[in-house]
């Protein structure tokens, strides 16, 4: 029998017999590695750890401590959950699909007679644990299309039958573990015994295939980790996330609300929320003006012909709202770039005028499906800190780097770390291959020169150009998409934007679309959760609350409040006839940074007694000194 040559990632080679599996190779290196191996790449193709190797091949083992390995682990956990559900509920429930997702997995079930509830989670988890303890082999089997249809039809799994029919493939793969069979491409773990730690987290409704005209399914969400310690840490973060939920804190802190009367996905800002938003917007204006941007503003609606010219009508209209004025069709703007290009076109431009940086806090509206709306994080009407830079091709590199530096400065002020990725040309797009290559290379070169690490996200660019997406990391290590930098050679062409070069000839400018915070609504939602509502002093809607001990100090408390307000402090006074402890606790619950306690002693001395929301008390000081103290604390942020 001739031996096979296996090449490992480090260049070393092994001689093995035909039929050897990746798991065998792992075991020959060490039992510890074998216990961690969940799959392998054989000549680049992802296969099960127990798949036979029949020819010379390059083999890369996939272990649990890699993102790919963890995804396989969670996908196998989804099968385990479906297996448990079928054991418990039998033919009452049909299985549909169950993918791994970030931080866990879900499985969608259909049932006419049974409704899942959180009270059943523990029962399902116990059954999953029992099946895991049985250490059932997970085995792949190839079936013809007709065999697979007959198999699942015989089990009454009509959704699996539909999936197979829609695939249109002559052969499909199924995975078996004990009595459970599931249609799946794989790969999967070698056995259920590798599944150690899992937890069901929630149940929700989901339409089959995401289409509201299809049947409503029940989606069980869960998470899984290779060991119980990691699971415990994750569940702690999940609990912390619930406490920080911006929708909950938005109500408690009286920042914003939504109303069915107004319409889904439309934010109503209350006084404190509107103040928070105003502070952030004012900060944005200052920072843009410092960096040479011009503030502009475009209309809310533009003629539909313009949206056809830009390509939005063909590529984005399902996300747009349209109206009619004087028998003319208009589109409500989902983006701000068109008006900015019209400003550029309003007069002749020279290379000496460039770059031009137009900044607009522009309110836009997008038709988001009701199922994806989520507090401030996904709305239908929102305001972007949108800017469009029009420059010569020679200036492009410097402008992209300037925006990257802008992002770095601003995220540092708010205390966010972030990650970057380049999103390349999507299937639905406009523009020439040459324009896309130039734009993509411009973004990559700028990142390479700055030494910033990044990932490539294939096919997820805007329809008119590639982009750098900046994902913020919050206090719970979650990622949020906010800032973006898009490079566009296409729209300047479509709108015939030109400038006169040093040679006296007309040339085409390049346009950089960019946001720093992104949607103000979304950013505030992230900010609320990042700080758990304990905003830094400089953006706290209310910075100080003055509280009197008795009615004797009411006049002096009101006087202090007025003095602080005149000095620019955002201050409230609480003169209610309540106990001091109650008023202080209430201010702490509302996360007011400082309370000023006014008693007879403070009134007599003309001072205030500051108390931080953390409970720390400061030495008494005059109101003027306290204003100076606040100014110094705010100054450290910007």
Query: Within this chain, do residues 113 and 196 fall inside the same structural domain, yes or no?
Result: yes
CATH number at residue 54: 3.10.20.30
Query: Within this chain, do residues 410 and 459 fall inside the same structural domain, yes or no?
Result: yes
The pLDDT value recorded for residue 1 is 58
In a domain, 175, yes or no: yes
CATH number at residue 117: 3.30.980.10
Q: How far is CA 77 from the centre of its chain?
A: 24
The arithmetic mean of pLDDT across residues 474-484, rounded, is 86
Query: Within this chain, do residues 422 and 480 fall inside the same structural domain, yes or no?
Result: yes
In a domain, 312, yes or no: no
In a domain, 154, yes or no: yes
In a domain, 571, yes or no: yes
Cβ of 508: how many Cβ atoms within 10 Å? 14
Q: Specify the range with the lowest mean pLDDT, choosing from 124-133, 456-465, 590-599.
A: 456-465
The rounded distance, in Å, linking the Cα atoms of 111 and 93 is: 5
% of the chain with per-residue pLDDT over 70: 100
Helix (H) or strand (E) holding 25: helix 22-29
The pLDDT value recorded for residue 636 is 83
94 touches 157 (CB < 8 A): yes
Query: Within this chain, do residues 342 and 461 fall inside the same structural domain, yes or no?
Result: yes
The rounded distance, in Å, linking the Cα atoms of 634 and 638 is: 7
Query: Within this chain, do residues 490 and 599 fall inside the same structural domain, yes or no?
Result: no
- The DSSP bridge partners found for residue 268 are 257
Residue 638 scores a pLDDT above 90: no
Query: Within this chain, do residues 23 and 76 fall inside the same structural domain, yes or no?
Result: no
Q: Write the pLDDT tens digit of every residue in 277-327.
A: 999 999 999 999 999 999 999 999 999 999 999 989 998 999 999 999 999
The pLDDT value recorded for residue 460 is 86
Total number of domains in the chain: 4
In a domain, 305, yes or no: no
In a domain, 490, yes or no: yes
Query: Within this chain, do residues 367 and 510 fall inside the same structural domain, yes or no?
Result: yes
Query: Within this chain, do residues 470 and 549 fall inside the same structural domain, yes or no?
Result: no
Domain boundary among 502, 531, 560: 531
CA distances to 27, 85, 155, 156, 226 from 90, rounded to whole Å, are: 38, 7, 10, 10, 28
Query: Within this chain, do residues 55 and 77 fall inside the same structural domain, yes or no?
Result: no
Q: Write the pLDDT tens digit of every residue in 94-110.
A: 999 999 998 899 999 99
Query: Within this chain, do residues 95 and 119 fall inside the same structural domain, yes or no?
Result: yes
Q: How confident is residue 510, by pLDDT bands cut at 50, 70 and 90?
A: very high
In a domain, 309, yes or no: no
Query: Within this chain, do residues 35 and 96 fall inside the same structural domain, yes or no?
Result: no
Domain boundary among 63, 90, 110: 63
The pLDDT value recorded for residue 427 is 87
Query: Within this chain, do residues 98 and 229 fall inside the same structural domain, yes or no?
Result: yes
The pLDDT value recorded for residue 429 is 87
Instruction: Render 235-268 in DSSP notation, one character per residue.
Output: HHHHHHHHHH-HHHHHHHTT-EE--TTT-TT--E
CATH number at residue 610: 3.40.50.800
Q: How confident is residue 168, by pLDDT bands cut at 50, 70 and 90?
A: confident
Of the candidates 261, 86, 117, 106, which has an alpha carbon nearest to the alpha carbon of residue 180? 86
Residue 545 scores a pLDDT above 70: yes
Q: Higher-confidence residue: 6 or 569?
A: 569
Residue 59 scores a pLDDT above 70: yes
In a domain, 271, yes or no: no
The pLDDT value recorded for residue 400 is 95
CATH number at residue 441: 3.30.930.10
**Residue 425 sits in which domain range?**
278-296+334-531
Domain boundary among 506, 531, 556: 531
Which residues are known catalytic residues?
337, 366, 384, 386, 388, 467, 513
């Amino acid at each position: 029998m001739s031996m096979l040559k296996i090449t490992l990632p480090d260049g070393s080679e092994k001689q093995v017999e035909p039929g050897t599996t990746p798991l065998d190779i792992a075991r020959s290196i060490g039992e510890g590695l074998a216990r961690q191996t969940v799959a392998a790449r054989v000549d680049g193709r992802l296969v099960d750890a127990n798949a036979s190797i029949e020819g010379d091949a390059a083999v890369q083992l996939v272990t649990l401590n890699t993102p790919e390995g963890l995804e396989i682990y969670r996908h196998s956990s989804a099968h385990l959950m479906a297996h448990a559900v079928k054991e418990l509920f039998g033919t009452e429930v049909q299985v549909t699909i169950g993918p791994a997702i970030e931080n866990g997995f879900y499985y969608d079930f259909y049932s006419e007679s049974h409704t899942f509830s959180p009270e059943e989670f523990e029962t399902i988890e116990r059954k999953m644990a029992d099946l895991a303890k049985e250490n059932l082999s997970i085995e792949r089997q190839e079936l013809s299309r007709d065999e697979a249809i007959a198999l699942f039809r015989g089990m009454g799994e009509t959704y699996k039958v539909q999936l197979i029919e829609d695939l249109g493939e002559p052969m499909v793969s199924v995975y078996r573990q004990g009595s459970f069979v599931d249609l799946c491409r794989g790969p999967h773990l070698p056995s259920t015994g590798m599944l150690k730690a899992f937890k069901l987290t929630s149940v929700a409704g989901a339409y089959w295939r995401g289409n509201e005209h299809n049947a409503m399914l029940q989606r069980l969400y869960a998470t899984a980790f290779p060991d119980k310690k990691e699971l415990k840490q994750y569940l702690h973060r999940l609990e912390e996330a619930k406490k920080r939920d911006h929708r909950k804190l938005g109500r408690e802190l009286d920042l914003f609300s939504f109303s069915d009367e107004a319409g889904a996905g439309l934010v109503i800002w209350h006084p404190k929320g509107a103040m928070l938003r105003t502070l952030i917007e004012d900060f944005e204006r200052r920072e843009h003006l410092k960096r040479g941007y011009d503030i502009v503003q475009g209309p809310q609606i533009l003629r539909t012909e313009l949206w056809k010219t830009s390509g939005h009508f063909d590529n984005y209209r399902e996300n747009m709202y349209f109206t009619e004025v004087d028998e003319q069709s208009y589109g409500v703007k989902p983006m701000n770039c068109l008006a900015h290009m019209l400003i550029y076109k309003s007069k002749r431009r020279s290379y000496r005028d460039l770059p031009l940086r137009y900044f607009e806090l522009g309110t836009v509206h997008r038709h988001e499906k009701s199922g994806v709306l989520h507090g401030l994080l996904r709305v239908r009407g929102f305001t972007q800190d949108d800017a469009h830079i029009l420059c010569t091709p020679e200036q492009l590199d410097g402008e992209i780097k300037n925006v990257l530096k802008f992002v770095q400065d601003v995220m540092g002020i708010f205390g966010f770390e972030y990650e970057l990725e380049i999103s390349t040309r999507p299937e639905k797009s406009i523009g020439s291959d040459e324009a896309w290559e130039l734009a993509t290379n411009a973004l990559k070169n700028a990142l390479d020169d700055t030494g910033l690490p990044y990932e490539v996200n294939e096919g997820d660019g805007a329809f008119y150009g590639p982009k750098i997406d900046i994902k913020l990391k919050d206090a719970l290590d979650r990622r949020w998409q906010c800032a973006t930098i898009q490079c566009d050679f296409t729209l300047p062409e479509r709108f015939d934007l030109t400038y006169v070069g040093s040679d006296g000839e007309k040339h085409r400018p390049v346009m950089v679309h960019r946001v720093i915070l992104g949607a103000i609504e979304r950013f505030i939602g992230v900010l609320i959760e990042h700080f758990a509502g304990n905003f830094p002093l400089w953006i706290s809607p209310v910075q100080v609350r003055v509280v009197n001990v008795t009615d004797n100090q009411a006049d002096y408390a009101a006087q202090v409040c007025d003095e602080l307000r005149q000095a620019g402090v955002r201050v409230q006074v609480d003169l209610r006839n309540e106990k001091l402890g109650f008023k202080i606790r209430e201010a702490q619950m509302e996360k007011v940074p400082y309370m000023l306690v006014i008693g007879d002693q403070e009134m007599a001395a003309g001072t205030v007694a500051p108390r931080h929301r953390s409970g720390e008390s400061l030495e008494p000081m005059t109101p003027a000194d306290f204003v100076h103290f606040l100014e110094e604390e705010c100054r450290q942020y910007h």
